[in-house]
Amino acid sequence: MPLFCLSLLFAALITSMRRGKRLAQAALYSPAVLSSVVAALIWLLMLDPRGLANQAVNWIAMTPGIDHQWLSSAAMVQVSTMIVYVWKYLGYFTILFVTGIGKIPDSVNEAAMIDGAGPVRRFFSITLPLLRPTTVLVSVMILIQCMKTFSTQYLFTQSGAPLAPINVITLNIYNTAMRDLNIGRASVMSTILFLFMLALTWIQLRVSKGDEAES
């Protein structure tokens, strides 16, 4: 949900800009070109007790020397994981929303402006309803991405973070097979995950074809 809402918000802001649209899109999209392992390693350094994250929060809150336990507290490790994924994939999904907004005819917005509708009213009454195929597509893609996430949680736990708060299904499958040596159970879990992601991918393809047909 945070990734979806932020992507939609940034897309709306970028499309309303008169200058610098491509620069803003490139800046947001740049983390998406990094591999998940590299992104996790970058944030491991930043979330270290002596890292940039503690320094930034302490500077803003004027609490020098406080360790916010990004990778040791159960609650904070969940927050840290969400920060990594929002940072990495925000630009990618923002680009999808920008593309979807760009397909909306200008004549519709111009007619609403003539009728006296403001930017907020136009967004909720025109842009958001016409953006429905893109919102469904992005929602499914975010869900698929969340289902297959692994690298960040694995590297965080290897660095001492508690397992329980970020024990996603892919990490659970890995630990079941490699740590517990329960290959049979891990195979069943992998098959169920594969079938679920296959269903989501089918929905994604159907939405994409429907979007192309409408355009």
Residue 165 neighbours by CB under 8 Å, 6+ apart: 74, 75, 77, 78
Q: What's the pLDDT at 188?
A: 94
With tokens 């002596």, the residue in question is 50
Mean pLDDT by 10 residues, the chain (215 residues): 89 88 90 89 90 89 85 91 93 92 83 79 84 87 88 91 91 92 94 90 74 53
Provide the pLDDT for residue 76: 92
Helix pair 151-158, 36-46: axis angle to 10 deg? 40
Predicted structure pTM score: 0.84
pLDDT of residue 136: 85
Is residue 43 within a helix (H) or strand (E), and if so which, with residue range? helix 36-46
Could you tell me where the DSSP H helices lie in the chain? 2-16, 21-29, 36-46, 52-61, 74-102, 106-114, 119-122, 128-130, 132-147, 151-158, 169-174, 183-214
Predicted pLDDT of residue 120: 82
- Among the four given CATH numbers 1.25.40.10, 1.10.10.10, 1.10.3720.10, 3.30.479.10, the one describing domain 2-214: 1.10.3720.10
pLDDT attached to residue 208? 67
- pLDDT at residue 18 in the model: 83
CA–CA distance, 98 with 19 (Å, rounded to integer) = 15
Determine the pLDDT at residue 105.
84
Which residue, among 100, 90, 94, 114, has the nearest Cα to 31 in the 3D structure?
90
For the chain, domain boundaries: 2-214
Residue written as tokens 């940034």? 10
Q: Residue 80's pLDDT is what? A: 93
Q: Is the dihedral of CA 25, 29, 31, 34 positive or negative?
A: negative
